[in-house]
Structure 1
Amino acid sequence: MQKKMLLWSIAVVMMTAMLGIPNMVMGADFLIKFAHFQPAQMDQPQHVAAVAFKNFVEQQSGGKIQVDIYPAGQLGAEKEILEGLRAGTIEMTNIHDGPIPTVFKPAVILGIPYAFESPPIAWGVMDGWYGQKFNEAMLKETGIRILAWSDNGVRNFSANKPLKSPTDLKGLKMRVMVSEVYLKMVQAMGGNPTPIPWGELYTALQQGVVDGQENGVTNMLAAKLYEVQKYYTLDGHIYSWHIVMVGNKFFESLPPDLQVIVKKGVEIGKVIERGLVTTQDLMAANILGDKGMDVVSLTPAEKDEFRKLSQQPVVDWAKTQTDPQWIDDLFKAIAEVQDQLKK
């Protein structure tokens, strides 16, 4: 599996390089300001996907669409980006799932821990009927159109000691995103969740404001968190998403042929980002080990200890925040995809 994903990743990077020939878009009919939150580096999957999208769309549209990429949160924090999509001041974004419940409450389901056993199951659920239902409901309620469920990787805990069981979390101040569902999860495990904005995380760890945090390999690299954390524990508590969105008023202002080009460009970016992120996740021991971290693997039984403590309390809480049918349908869709993959 690792070898296949590595070969896939190499292939998509080569494809991106071929697409990455600079274009001069003169007199474009439409401008897409595309905001994302990773550094403008080619080891950052979100940025690689954005560059591929830009070059595909500009080339295929014959210069009718110009795409300007704004990486590393240049256009503002997550809440500002979502507001910009609704107001029409920003056309597109690739944004992580954490802040989505602030505009669409059913998105709390995205924080249910240990819901997906593997990336193919997660992809099957959100590319299938459940994801389509989610997309349509969010569009109706917010005016934001989801074009693709991309990939933010599997989130794992890091600290300055190995976390082999939930008891190891007791007493630790663990940084979480500014998201209530993450607070509930860490509390259920016995840790002390401390919301800290992404841009302040490195300093908070360096100064001991918090003892640990949770993120995927890509984000560990992006923020150089390996410099201020010793152990990375592969508990895989959350399958995290990057979600490609467009303001619907802008999208519907495009002629149908240009809408198709945008959709195709997003699909290419999705495949690239999923391949790169999954490869990084599978090679966590190699990548972070080379950076000086000790990567701790857990047995299925050890992972189950974390799941038993955290999943049901988060599910119970989520059902107080949104229609419980969203949660019931999620687990139904997961079971269906699991069955399909066994055939």
Structure 2
Amino acid sequence: MKLKTLTAALLASAALTTGAFACETTLRSSDTHPEGYPTVVAVQKMGEMLEERTDGRLCIEVFHSAQLGEEKDTIEQTQFGVIDMNRVSLGPFNNIIEETQVPSLPYIFRSVEHMHKVMDGPVGQQILDAFADHDLIGLAFYDGGSRSFYNSEKPIKSMEDLAGMKFRVMQSDMFVDMVAALGANATPMPYGEVYSSIQTGVIDGAENNWPSYESSGHFEVAKYYTLDQHLIVPEVLVMSKMAWDKLSPEDQEIVKQAAKDSVPVMRDLWEQREKASEEKVRASGVEIVTDIDKTPFIEAMKPVYQKYVTSDKLKKMVEDIQATE
């Protein structure tokens, strides 16, 4: 309850200073990423769409840079209705909504283009619909890029190089098991603690995409980046069901469409940001390992699939994803 009270106080304080309440209803949206990050800008653009399409009835105030807490905490606050909207990776939802486990599986997607085709189709809609049973409304999927390992100790060129190393992962049992299957040790921890933990040797490294590796400054303390691309986990934009139920059916449809229309905005921004982040990291002198045989990594994931893909529903989702061209 203390966290809930603190979040409410932060929101109230911010509302007094931002001038956001020029709108009839201002939806408060959380994001752990910094100002200017593609997901943050996409939700801001969605807010502009809402304000225009509702003649000022609705707009969005984005609280970026984890101002309202790390992802795991903000999920709970969104369910409580303290936060109206939230942009979160699917990873932290894995222990809450089983359907989110499937697109979070290692090597489930063959490419980013394959992920887009799946998440824009029936499987993606099935996952969005699953949020309704957990006091949330799934609105849209954003890109999270390809996640790869980086560390402060040595270049990783094979599974053997991972043995015994300590890596931060998102707070998801599946990601812990993924790292364990590769012979390394997983340490779940909030995103904001990773830099200092690598710097002080609490962990050897972490895993993430180009923009996160760069914008977090992790490349400054973890100078080895191996492009194994073990995860292509989408991010999701959700809304509190409590906030959703306060809207008229007309405004609910406008919110859904604005969220959908923000997706290509985010993807364009992501592509630009990814290229810029890669250029910055490469220029810094980080050692990038690109020549790596992924086959042993993929083979090592069989026990992970066996553990998490257990129901007929999830098995069918995996089959549908693999069959998507």
Q: 1:272 Cα deviation (Å)?
A: 2.1
Give the match for residue 9 of structure 2.
Answer: none
Q: Sequence identity, in percent?
A: 29
Q: 1:59 Cα deviation (Å)?
A: 2.3
Residue 306 (str. 1) matches residue 297 (str. 2):
yes
Q: State the one-letter code of the partner of 1:165.
A: S
Q: Which moved more, 1:174-183 or 1:76-85?
A: 76-85
Give the match for residue 29 of structure 2.
Answer: 34
Give the match for residue 143 of structure 2.
Answer: 151
Q: Deviations over 1:157-192 (max 9, x none)?
A: 112322111111012111212221111011111112
SS of structure 2 residue aligned to 1:183 = helix
Q: 1:284 Cα deviation (Å)?
A: 6.2
SS of structure 2 residue aligned to 1:116 = coil
Give the match for residue 85 of structure 1.
Answer: 78
Q: 2:321 aligns with which of 321, 326, 334?
A: 334
Q: Which moved more, 1:241-250 or 1:251-260?
A: 251-260
Q: How big is the alpha-carbon RMSD for the aligned residues of Structure 1 and Structure 2?
A: 2.1
Give the match for residue 125 of structure 1.
Answer: 118
How many equivalent pairs are there? 307
Give the match for residue 324 of structure 1.
Answer: 311
Map 1:71-110 → 2, pairs under 5 A: 71-110=64-103
Q: 2:219 aligns with which of 217, 223, 226?
A: 226
Q: 1:51 Cα deviation (Å)?
A: 1.8
Q: Deviations over 1:134-159 (max 9, x none)?
A: 222331x2121111011111100112
Map 1:1-343 → 2, pairs under 5 A: 28-40=23-35, 42=36, 44-139=37-132, 141-160=133-152, 161-281=154-274, 285-299=278-292, 302-309=293-300, 311-319=301-309, 323-338=310-325
SS of structure 2 residue aligned to 1:111 = coil
Q: Deviations over 1:34-69 (max 9, x none)?
A: 1111011x2x11111122112221222211113211
Q: State the one-letter code of the partner of 1:312.
A: K
Give the match for residue 4 of structure 1.
Answer: none
Tell me how far apart the structure 1 counterparts of residues 202 and 127 of structure 2 sit (CA, whole Å): 37
Q: Deviations over 1:285-333 (max 9, x none)?
A: 534202321221135xx01121111x211101113xxx52243123222
Kept in 2, the 8 Å contact 1:26–1:63? The answer is no
Q: Deviations over 1:98-121 (max 9, x none)?
A: 211233233222331111011121
Consecutive unaligned residues of structure 2, counting only runs of 5 or more, are 1-17
Kept in 1, the 8 Å contact 2:44–2:60? The answer is no
Q: 1:131 Cα deviation (Å)?
A: 1.7
Kept in 1, the 8 Å contact 2:128–2:140? The answer is no
Q: State the one-letter code of the partner of 2:297.
A: F
Tell me how far apart the structure 2 counterparts of residues 176 and 26 of structure 1 sit (CA, whole Å): 37
Kept in 2, the 8 Å contact 1:31–1:68? The answer is yes
Kept in 2, the 8 Å contact 1:151–1:241? The answer is yes
Kept in 1, the 8 Å contact 2:143–2:235? The answer is yes
Tell me how far apart the structure 1 counterparts of residues 250 and 104 of structure 2 sit (CA, whole Å): 36
Q: Deviations over 1:4-38 (max 9, x none)?
A: xxxxxxxxxxxxxxxxxxx9766533220111110
SS of structure 2 residue aligned to 1:153 = coil
Kept in 1, the 8 Å contact 2:94–2:174? The answer is no
TM-score (norm 2): 0.87
Q: 1:336 Cα deviation (Å)?
A: 2.8
Q: 1:282 Cα deviation (Å)?
A: 5.9
Tell me how far apart the structure 2 counterparts of residues 93 and 250 of structure 1 sit (CA, whole Å): 12
Q: 1:220 Cα deviation (Å)?
A: 0.9
Tell me how far apart the structure 1 counterparts of residues 107 and 274 of structure 2 sit (CA, whole Å): 16
Tell me how far apart the structure 2 counterparts of residues 168 and 195 of structure 1 sit (CA, whole Å): 21
TM-score (norm 1): 0.83
Q: 1:224 Cα deviation (Å)?
A: 0.6
Tell me how far apart the structure 1 counterparts of residues 215 and 278 of structure 2 sit (CA, whole Å): 17
SS of structure 1 residue aligned to 2:107 = coil
Consecutive unaligned residues of structure 1, counting only runs of 5 or more, are 1-22, 339-343
Tell me how far apart the structure 2 counterparts of residues 183 and 209 of structure 1 sit (CA, whole Å): 16
